[in-house]
Amino acid sequence: MEIVLAIVVGTLYGCGLYLMMRRNLVQLIIGLALISHGANLLIFTAGGLRQGGAPILAEGDAAFAQIPADPLPQALILTAIVISFAVTAFALVLFLRTYQTVGTDDVDQLKETDT
């Protein structure tokens, strides 16, 4: 299963980088989102794919009955989701303002407006 997830992560990174190198700002934002999804999946895969109990001991227990699941990758992914949502929202607002000001979303034409 890890091999399949590694291929998916590589595909997400590859597609994201390809879109970020395009001249269109919308494709750049979509590429940024794909890379953030790939990073989330990479953290999930690096945390290990195993089934385990909840990492909370029942009252009165001294040890876990089975190996507990690691909560750290889940917390990191949740944090990464919130950060990537904020970055994507900021990029969309920045794109909208740029499009309203310049009237184009082509990166090469944006370079011509620098004076």
Q: Which domain holds residue 28?
A: 2-49+70-112
- Count Cβ atoms within 10 A of the Cβ of residue 9 and give its class: 0-12 exposed, 13-18 middle, 19 or more buried: buried
Question: If you ran DSSP here, which 8-state letter would residue 87 be given?
Answer: H
Average pLDDT over residues 6-32: 93
Does the residue 103 lie in any domain? yes
Does the residue 59 lie in any domain? no
Give tens-digit pLDDT for 27-62.
Answer: 999 999 999 999 999 998 888 777 767 777 777 777
- Separation of alpha carbons 39 and 77, rounded Å: 9
Cβ atoms within 10 A of the Cβ of 18, count?
12
| pLDDT number for residue 41 | 93
Does the residue 27 lie in any domain? yes
Does the residue 37 lie in any domain? yes
Nearest to 107 by CA among 19, 25, 32: 25
Q: Is the dihedral of CA 83, 84, 90, 94 positive or negative?
A: positive
Does the residue 54 lie in any domain? no
| pLDDT number for residue 78 | 94
Q: What is the total count of domains within the chain?
A: 1
CATH number at residue 32: 1.10.287.3510
